[in-house]
Amino acid sequence: MDKDNANPTILNVSELPTRQNKKKATAPGKDADLDLDIVLRKPEYLSAPFCDLSWASDDTDSDDGFTIEPIDEQEIYDLISTISDPEHPLSLGQLAVVNLPDIHITPSPSLPADPNTLTQVLVKITPTITHCSLATVIGLGIRVRLEQALPPNYRVDVMIKEGTHSQDDQVNKQLADKERVAAALENATLKGVLDKMLETCV
């Protein structure tokens, strides 16, 4: 089968944004410590939906729920940039489908968090070409990955970045539809594709 985009632009892994210092701002750096960051991360890929393991198991020294480290844009980026593209043997980070500046968290993670306060994570994706038919599958993969990894007070919205896709309204509406997403995950073929995409997220 012909690929939609046979020659995508590929970023070197060492050029991808990464957390240089866990506490510091998240400016894209050139130090190649991304792999280390991934290795040190606890597996957050959970099989049961809505399992709240990730916040309970997050690295906190105290039992006090209020000292949980906030989840920032870099952490969201780390969760999804390692997802594999469904047609190239490359990650969504390498293909620049997901980009750190296109991840928005509201309210800002620097504010004190109450585990019941809704936090919106908005991810705008840039499909490799404007008519990429796999944009929906990629968006679905990101939504599923984040819903499985993030605490239940997070609301994940995945949208196509304006002007980068010819049917962005349709794709956005599908990705926002909880019922369609739930049904899609019960479709064995689609679930197989998604599982394969998420295999590289460890």
Partner 1 sequence: MAPTTPMKLIPLPPFKPDLYERAWQSIPHPTLPLLATAHQKSVTVFSLSTLSEHSTLTNGHERSVRSASWKPNLPPHKLCLVTGSFDSTAGLWRWEDEGQGGSGGLEVEITGGAKEDAEEKDWELIVVLDGHDSEIKSVAFSPSGQFLATCSRDKSVWIWEDVGASEADDEWETVAVLNEHEGDVKAVAWCPDTNRSGRGRYGSDVLASASYDDTVRIWREDGEGEWVCVAVLEGHKGTVWGIQWEPNPKNERFPRLLTWSADRTIRVWTLKEEEDEAEAPQHAWSGLGRIPNTMRRSLKEEWVCTDTLPAAHTRDIYSATWSAETGLVASVGSDGIIALYKEEASDVNGKTSTATEDEAAAELDGDVHMSNGHPENKLQTSRQWNLLSTMPNAHGPYEINHITWCKRYDAGCPPDKKGVEEMLVTTGDDGIVRPWQIS
Residues that bind partner 1 (CB under 8 A): 48-50, 115-116, 118, 151-153, 155, 173, 176-180, 182-183, 186
- Which of residues 176 and 193 has its CB atom nearest to partner 1 in the complex? 176
Helix (H, G, I), strand (E, B) or coil at 122: strand
Q: Which among 144, 158, 151, 161 is positioned nearest to 197, based on CA atoms? A: 144
- Which of residues 28 and 152 has its CB atom nearest to partner 1 in the complex? 152
Q: Taking the complex as a whole, how short is the minimal distance between the CB of residue 198 and partner 1, in angstroms?
A: 20
Place of tokens 């990429």: 132
Contact 134, 4 (CB under 8 A): yes
Place of tokens 């594999």: 84
- Which of residues 47 and 62 has its CB atom nearest to partner 1 in the complex? 47
Q: Taking the complex as a whole, how short is the minimal distance between the CB of residue 119 and partner 1, in angstroms?
A: 9
Query: Distance (Å, rounded) from C-alpha 141 to C-alpha 131?
Result: 18
- Which of residues 36 and 183 has its CB atom nearest to partner 1 in the complex? 183
- Which of residues 54 and 84 has its CB atom nearest to partner 1 in the complex? 54
Q: How many angstroms separate the most distant Cα atoms in the chain?
A: 53
Distances (CA, A) of 69 to 25, 58, 162: 14, 8, 32
Q: Taking the complex as a whole, how short is the minimal distance between the CB of residue 84 and partner 1, in angstroms?
A: 26
Contact 94, 11 (CB under 8 A): yes
Q: Taking the complex as a whole, how short is the minimal distance between the CB of residue 115 and partner 1, in angstroms?
A: 6
Q: Taking the complex as a whole, how short is the minimal distance between the CB of residue 101 and partner 1, in angstroms?
A: 24
- Which of residues 118 and 202 has its CB atom nearest to partner 1 in the complex? 118
Close Cβ partners of 181 (under 8 Å, ≥ 6 residues apart): 140, 143, 144, 175
Q: Taking the complex as a whole, how short is the minimal distance between the CB of residue 178 and partner 1, in angstroms?
A: 7
At 155, list the tokens: 């609301």
